[in-house]
Amino acid sequence: MNQTIISEAFGEQLALITANTPYAIESDSDTFVSELEHKVRKYMYSLWMDAQANKLANYLEKRQAAHFAQLYEFSYGVSMYDNEQTLSSRSDTLALMIIDEKVAYKKRLERIRLQYKRFKEICELISVKDKELFIRYFEQSQKVDYETLRNAVINNIRVISERYWSDEQTNEQHTRDSFNTKR
């Protein structure tokens, strides 16, 4: 399981619920969607990815031990063919690479968990009816009526867009801060 698979699942689900509706778009079609429909689908995609993030994080946590074990397989020594030394004496470099990978893996898990937390926070800001609909479709991948889902997204588009905009601003500030500290 990875983000590509989750993304493809969104496309399949969207095709399933828009089939035989005015919102259905065939891959070989020249049909364009309105600006509103484009915005609705963009937020649907973001909500889908956030809601599915919990499953991805759980999967990655289960695979974590195996992933780290694979890293250590490379640390037993690497044959060197360009000089007389048969094994690399750079075990310190390999150890640092393993540490970096462990830190990166942990950060990735934290980032994915934050995506799911964002989905839950958005659900807390909307009506109970819309929250249940969002959970059924985005988190549990159940088929729902597209028109109902679309209207729920439109009705909550201000809340949804503000939440994503806020995260964007925070991420940009974090990037600026980390860039400035590296100078």
User: Pick the residue with more confidence: 109 or 84?
Assistant: 109
Mean pLDDT is lowest, of 91-95, 164-168, 176-180, for 91-95
Tokens at 46, concatenated: 């973001």
Question: Is residue 54 scored above 90 in pLDDT?
Answer: yes
What is the tens place of the pLDDT at every residue in 116-138?
999 999 999 999 999 999 999 99
Question: Is residue 74 scored above 70 in pLDDT?
Answer: no
What is the tens place of the pLDDT at every residue in 92-113?
777 788 888 889 889 999 999 9
Mean pLDDT of the chain: 86
Tokens at 2, concatenated: 């990875």
Residues 6+ apart with CB under 8 A from 53: 112, 113, 115, 116, 119
- Buried/exposed code over 2-28 (b: 16+ C-beta within 10 A; e: otherwise): eeeebeeebeebbeebbeeeebeeeee
* pLDDT range class, residue 46, cuts 50, 70, 90: very high
Residues 6+ apart with CB under 8 A from 71: 97, 98, 101, 102
Using an 8 Å Cβ cutoff, are 51 and 116 in contact? yes
Helices 3-18 and 35-73 pack at an angle, to 10 degrees, of: 150
Using an 8 Å Cβ cutoff, are 126 and 134 in contact? yes
- Predicted pLDDT at 75: 55
pTM of structure: 0.76
